[in-house]
Structure 1
């Protein structure tokens, strides 16, 4: 029964595909380093993270250290847009409705399922499940790196897939990292679009999958069609495999999500701002790295 429910809700994200534009940080902006006082015992987790401080959360799986999205970055439209919505969140009405729907799905469907999953499946087995699905998408990582012109990373993807599929028993183990030093090099279609200069577009909350943007919404839709799992098996088994993958991912995030949700005065604003800050940080430092590489080539 759980599989059927999860198959339906996970299929929902394939209906969303939108496009838009957003502004990149100004290269000439002055970098600011943010400093903060030590957290006090009376400070909530939401306040601590909003102030740029890391927090520790006690969960059923032990203590988890959560880092804030931004610790040092340029002065950009982040300070005005992300705080109030503005150009970063023109679809706030839809996003809030979807955020509420997702929270209900997390609370009443996914969280009970993941609790049962963690109870039935021991931690070493859950790690193997995660490695299996990571290995399954290596061909997609490879293609995305090729289209982005990142041939070295594509070579790592190929090596990891061949080693972990054979020596690692279909990816249940990761000898590519432990024995050959080939670290993970994930790459989504959204990452490739970013490498081509496609801007992220407005903030978007996807069904079940949560925080995203227009560019990654297109990425999710496209990957739903081309994901390697579709070539391993067919409907409905491919949907069931994707559902198991989603449950495994959520099982590692469930406790942290609920703790932060309960701490926040406005959970929607808190999670949105964390996403937008991380997005702008990645855009800024990615641009800086690209500029440095261009200068070195010249």
Structure 2
């Protein structure tokens, strides 16, 4: 019975952690990828034709449940309590240790994309931080110039040419898609997560979850000011995926193209004003 309870707890923690981590990354990049809130209404509400969202009615219900119920009444209050009582030095150390457990997966996923230098960097980080860094509590590797090269298997599939598939807003897990969901499942089977006892796995997931949500608290004003929170998150999500798979090498629009788009939006706004 205790094993069953432990497994259920791990599933819940990992699911909520994925939700918070993805929301954090989305809102961090929102200023660069989504139109500012003071832009014309049509700019903010523009739906990208590349966003495959056939399950939007269901996804919107799940978004409301995740953000208005799970986050508001569980995750956010717990996070605020954790931040209030935990010294920053301890928080940093625990997060370093949690991140260190991901380095073997980072190494494999980098190498599967042909990024062998980054893959060996992740191996070096794991070796240095697990020993000199006292099981990852101290990020000694970064001070040695070995920067973290985080990659997940979903990005590997993207580099291999696998499409994202439909957008999914999963209960507790949050924003996802078929490719990323497959990648998440594969990442769970990497060493050392497969050999660690449940308390360590759960502990690492809890720390990552709370730290991700703590960072998100500083960013959620962007979300709250958006006209449509669901579209805000969805668009940021897809643009983040494209950014990660291409390693930031996304083709930028020329000034002429941006000016032409702005003119189109202005014409559309004038048309709307004329029909009011």
Provide the residue aligned with 2:12 in structure 1.
9
Aligned residue among 209, 222, 226 for 1:264: 226
Alignment gaps of 5+ in structure 2:
1-5, 18-26, 36-42, 252-276
Give the Cα separation in 2 of the matches to 1:129 and 1:274: 29
Aligned residue among 115, 121, 132 for 2:97: 132
Give yes or no for the alignment of 1:254 onto 2:217.
yes
TM-fit CA distance, 1:100: 1.2
Do 1:7 and 1:240's aligned partners in 2 also have CA atoms closer than 8 Å?
Answer: no
| TM-score normalized with structure 1 length | 0.66
TM-fit CA distance, 1:261: 3.4
| Structure with greater strand share of residues | 1
TM-fit CA distance, 1:264: 2.2
Provide the residue aligned with 1:161 in structure 2.
126
TM-fit CA distance, 1:174: 1.2
| Structure with greater helix share of residues | 2
Give the Cα separation in 1 of the matches to 2:53 and 2:191: 29
For these two proteins, the number of residue pairs brought into alignment is 227
Do 1:118 and 1:251's aligned partners in 2 also have CA atoms closer than 8 Å?
Answer: yes
Higher relative contact order (CA 8 A, sep 6+): 2
| TM-score normalized with structure 2 length | 0.70
Give the Cα separation in 1 of the matches to 2:218 and 2:113: 35
Do 1:194 and 1:200's aligned partners in 2 also have CA atoms closer than 8 Å?
Answer: yes
Matches within 5 A, 1:81-96: 83=47, 88-96=52-60
TM-fit CA distance, 1:191: 1.3
Aligned residue among 50, 63, 66 for 1:99: 63
TM-fit CA distance, 1:245: 2.4
Provide the residue aligned with 1:116 in structure 2.
81
Alignment gaps of 5+ in structure 1:
15-54, 56-63, 72-78, 289-298
RMSD: 3.3
Matches within 5 A, 1:215-254: 215-226=179-190, 228-234=192-198, 238-254=201-217
